[in-house]
Amino acid sequence: MSNVAKRQTSGLDKVLRVALYVCLLAMAAVYLAPFIVMLLTSLKDVEEIRSGTLLSLPGSIDFSAWSKAWSGACTGSQCEGMAPYFMNSFKIVIPAVAISTLLGAINGYVISHWKFRGSDFFFAALLVGCFIPFQVILLPMARTLGWLGIANTTTGLVLVHVVYGVAFTTLFFRNFYQSIPGELIKAARLDGAGFFTIFYRIILPVSTPIIVVTVIWQFTQIWNDFLFGVAFSGFDTQPVTVALNNLVNTSFGGKEYNVDMAAAIIAALPTLLVYVLAGKYFVRGLTAGAVKG
Amino acid sequence: MANLVIENVKKRYGQTEILKGINISIEAGEFLILVGPSGCGKSTLMNSIAGLEDVSEGRILIDNNDVTYSSPKDRDIAMVFQSYALYPNMTVAQNISFGLEMRKVPKDEREAEVQRVADMLQIGHLLKRKPAQLSGGQRQRVAMGRALARRPKMYLFDEPLSNLDAKLRVEMRTEIKKLHQKLGTTIVYVTHDQIEAMTLADRIAVMKDGEVQQLGTPQEIYDNPTNLFVAGFMGSPAMNFVPAKVVEQNGAFALELQASKPTVVPFPDQESLKPYLGKEILLGLRPEMITEPQPHKEGAEFVVTADIDVEVTEPMGADTMVLTRISEAEVNCRCNPVYPTKAGETIAMMLDTSKAVAFDKDTGERIDR
């Protein structure tokens, strides 16, 4: 069967292939352009920015804008740069991601494998939480935080993000756990394991893909959040997004675009890093459970 | 070893009744098979015995203890699932010892038990593997090993062989039977495969629509089915149901059939036919009751030779199945392969009605004996 071995590659095939790559490269360029502009601008000095074009390369690599953005730029009356707010964001994001992910996992486990009367309604009600616009709950949430005595605190922001995140994390985990056969839980119950033992020993060890997905999702959402941050944070608990806004809006004399750009990249760096490190799990996890096998 | 008593167990989901009053009682060490078509409630009953589902009414006793409201772990039973349900994150050894660990058995005892079970099932070389690295048959063995390790009072098997290929299924069937003979532990086994039911069981409960149609030994169920459903469900090929008219001949009741020509056959239980004189009943004939003429049976009571028209022949090696039509009904006959049978021909066959059964045409209930 030697005639099967070689497939004819005609000229047209080659042309189409080249066209495809050109297309893909053009798309990638469109998506990357803003980031490249940011990066280039952050490495130029103010004079160079004013005289050159957006895409002109910097004459010399100059990191002074970065160090200013990190520790010297003024955000309002304070001139400590992004560093303290960067830390604030971590203080909010780490507990909020951890708690909302854990709660979502337990919720999903209950809704998919320990159904109770009304559990489907409970799940539907939780789903509604995914569709409530953030703005709608600003006032009631402010009242609630005040009533709880945690207004303007990091704890308060963590609570807001956990409450808002649980709807999504529950949905993620429930859909994933739906594909775990119920017989597995039955077998464990007959073996003598209880609710939490089954969760800890059998369910969690197979949950890595969905945990990664949820953590990435929650991390990005909470890190990038501006509205809750600006509404519920105090003077010294502002997250990095709010600080970035203040930094860009505070100017003495000329606008320092290089510092603004460096600050913006700093603010985006953690989410970028999370995607680079765990991105392949993200796609894999999102499609897990969608197809059997 | 424990006996099992199921008393008037009912299970309802809202308005629908899944189990409609089940009564089954088996002795310690018996092998009970619950068999029936899908949706008959056999798996629900199994889950109720395991305690994985609550019953709506009735009682379940294991080893003379009322366990109706006990949690699964307190019933001291082990279950083998159709999907095997092996814990995917654990090795085979961990899978087998998990139940022991949950019962706080010390580590060295657990290891000894894993070794014992692994030797018994010949899975010693698999102990360090994860379930994903095992074949279907190996997973099946590990699932059984997990059940064996705890030495429970009773084993429950929920269609354990239906995910295996045909050859492996027969092998594992024998294996399970050997295991039961060796351990002598009470087993409740759910299947929809009537051959599994016949070969494995001490007693079979044939279920349909949430009711036990018949509870008996495999031979009882095969020879004396209580109604058309049981008769048609058990046996392969299934029992033939031939419409027959009750007539009086030479002072005895007999049955008139339409084979190639009209044929009258005798019937053992005379009394039962009396009320049906002149009416039609259904005569139940197993395929092996219609054979090639056998000289040693010639002239025996309840044996008649008649001509039939062959429609299809199916050589199976040991036998040849001959498909014909008697009184409009399709009928399977079991012939010796050396007997010349050919589609389209009319041949002589011997009908032995000494073990035939009769059913009411309308109710489907057995009318003789």
Q: The domain spanning residue B137 has which CATH number?
A: 3.40.50.300
Percent above pLDDT 70 for chain A: 92
| Overall domain count for chain B | 2
Q: With an 8 Å Cβ cutoff, are B85 and A181 in contact?
A: yes
First to last CA, chain B: 36
Distance from CA of A272 to the nearest CA of B (A): 31
Task: Give me the domain span that covers residue B8.
Answer: 4-233
Give the pLDDT band of residue A7 (cuts 50, 70, 90).
low
Q: What is the pLDDT of residue A9?
A: 65
Q: Could you tell me if residue B109 is inside a domain?
A: yes
Work out the average pLDDT over B208-221.
94
Distance from CA of A190 to the nearest CA of B (A): 5
Whether B261 and B226 share a structural domain: no
Work out the average pLDDT over B33-56.
92
Whether B52 and B120 share a structural domain: yes
Q: Could you tell me if residue B368 is inside a domain?
A: no
Strands B203-208 and B252-258, bridge-based pairing? unpaired
- Between B50, B73, B85, which is nearest A192 by CB? B73
Instruction: Give the 3-state secondary structure percentages of chain A, helix then strand then coil, rounded to 5.
Output: 75, 0, 25
Q: Could you tell me if residue B294 is inside a domain?
A: yes
Q: Which residues contact A204 (CB under 8 A, 6 or more apart)?
A: A105
- Between A186, A190, A202, which is nearest B87 by CB? A202
Give the pLDDT band of residue A288 (cuts 50, 70, 90).
low
Q: With an 8 Å Cβ cutoff, are B73 and A191 in contact?
A: yes
Q: Could you tell me if residue B174 is inside a domain?
A: yes
**In chain A, whose CA is at the least distance from the CA of B83?**
A183
Q: Could you tell me if residue B98 is inside a domain?
A: yes
Which B residues in the span 97-136 are in contact with A, Cβ-Cβ below 8 Å? 98-99, 102-103
From B214, B233, B252, the end of a domain falls on B233
Whether B16 and B136 share a structural domain: yes
- Chain A interface residues (partner B, CB cutoff 8 A): 181, 183-184, 186-193, 197, 201-202, 205-206
| CATH at B290 | 2.40.50.140
Q: With an 8 Å Cβ cutoff, are A183 and B82 in contact?
A: yes
Which positions in chain A touch B77 (Cβ < 8 Å)? 190
Q: What is the pLDDT of residue A113?
A: 92
For an interface test with B, give the residue of A185, A186, A190 to mutate (most B CBs within 10 A).
A190
Whether B178 and B267 share a structural domain: no
Whether B188 and B287 share a structural domain: no
**Burial status of residue B252 (CB atoms within 10 A of its CB: 0-12, 13-18, 19 or more):** exposed
Q: What is the pTM of this model?
A: 0.81
How many A/B residue pairs have CB atoms within 8 Å?
Answer: 56
Strands B77-80 and B31-35, bridge-based pairing? unpaired
Partner A contacted by B163 (CB < 8 A): no
ipTM > 0.95, yes or no: no
Whether B269 and B326 share a structural domain: yes
Work out the average pLDDT over A89-114.
95
For an interface test with A, give the residue of B74, B79, B97 to mutate (most A CBs within 10 A).
B79
Q: What is the pLDDT of residue A253?
A: 67
Q: Describe the strand order of the beta sheet including B4-13 as a list of residue ranges.
A: B16-26, B4-13, B57-62, B65-66
Q: What is the pLDDT of residue B321?
A: 95
Q: Could you tell me if residue B198 is inside a domain?
A: yes
Q: With an 8 Å Cβ cutoff, are A202 and B81 in contact?
A: no
Question: What does the angle CA B296 – CA B318 – CA B172 come to, to the nearest 5 degrees?
Answer: 125
From B233, B250, B268, the end of a domain falls on B233
From B200, B218, B233, the end of a domain falls on B233
Work out the average pLDDT over A245-253.
80
Q: What is the pLDDT of residue A290?
A: 41
Question: Considering only CA atoms, which of B358, B52, B32, B60 is closest in space to residue A190?
Answer: B52
Whether B173 and B27 share a structural domain: yes
With 50 as the cut, is the pLDDT of residue A292 above it?
no
With 70 as the cut, is the pLDDT of residue A286 above it?
no
Whether B9 and B146 share a structural domain: yes
Q: Could you tell me if residue B367 is inside a domain?
A: no
Give the pLDDT band of residue A8 (cuts 50, 70, 90).
low
With 80 as the cut, is the pLDDT of residue B369 above it?
no
Q: Could you tell me if residue B336 is inside a domain?
A: yes
* Token representation of residue A90: 């971590």
Note the pLDDT tens digit of each residue in A85-97.
999 999 999 999 9
With 70 as the cut, is the pLDDT of residue B313 above it?
yes
Note the pLDDT tens digit of each residue in B222-281.
999 999 999 999 988 899 999 999 999 888 999 999 988 999 999 999 989 999 999 999
Is residue A203 within 8 Å of A89, Cβ to Cβ?
no
Domains of chain A with CATH codes = 11-62 (no CATH), 83-239+260-287 (1.10.3720.10)
